Amino acid sequence: MKNLENFLNYVIDNLDDDRIHISKKVKYGCRYFIVSINLPTINSREITIIVDTRNHVIDVGYDFGQNVVIESEALTKKWSDIFEKKYTENIDQRFDLILNDFISQTDKTGKDFWREWTMEKIFKSKNKKS
């Protein structure tokens, strides 16, 4: 488990790397954090770390390959709290990126919706300053 802790610390220290992505799901009232590390491989595989607070496990593996499941309530709690903090640090930016990406792929009516949303934000921020 020491190797896992060292690797997770390395991942946390390098979250600004574009190849590392953290996502969060909530199911049955429990948090799941999925850390995907996309490295160039022969078959374009990703290594995935899943922190599952419902079953108190950390699952590490890669697409169509080997995996290991570590059962530890303490380790799961520790890393879910760390990932929660990192995940929520830039949630507004992530939300804006999702909208920007989606809108950029829409047709004309979608772009009209985006312009209206942008104007709404501008006018609301001006009204708050007044």
Domain count across the chain: 2
Let me know whether 42 and 101 are in one domain.
no
Q: What share of the chain is helix, strand, coil (3-state, %, to 5)?
A: 50, 25, 25
Cβ atoms 120, 99 nearer than 8 A: no
Structure tokens at 66: 């080997």
Cβ atoms 66, 39 nearer than 8 A: no
Let me know whether 73 and 41 are in one domain.
yes
- 102: domain range? 94-129
15: how many CB neighbours lie within 10 A of its CB?
15
For the segment 83-112, the average pLDDT, to the nearest whole number, is 79
| pTM as predicted | 0.72
Count the residues in the chain.
Answer: 130
Q: Is the pLDDT of residue 19 over 70?
A: yes
Let me know whether 59 and 109 are in one domain.
no
Cβ atoms 70, 1 nearer than 8 A: yes
At 126 the pLDDT is: 63
For the segment 39-46, the average pLDDT, to the nearest whole number, is 75
Let me know whether 76 and 121 are in one domain.
no
Which uninterrupted H or E stretch holds 20? strand 20-27
Q: Is the pLDDT of residue 130 over 60?
A: no
Let me know whether 58 and 25 are in one domain.
yes
Residue (of 80, 103, 101) closest to 22 by Cα position: 80
Q: Is the pLDDT of residue 36 over 80?
A: yes
Between residues 130 and 78, the one the model is more confident about: 78
Let me know whether 48 and 63 are in one domain.
yes
Q: Is the pLDDT of residue 128 over 70?
A: no
For the segment 7-32, the average pLDDT, to the nearest whole number, is 90
Let me know whether 15 and 60 are in one domain.
yes
Q: Is the pLDDT of residue 116 over 90?
A: no
Let me know whether 82 and 104 are in one domain.
no
Let me know whether 82 and 101 are in one domain.
no
At 122 the pLDDT is: 72
Let me know whether 77 and 116 are in one domain.
no
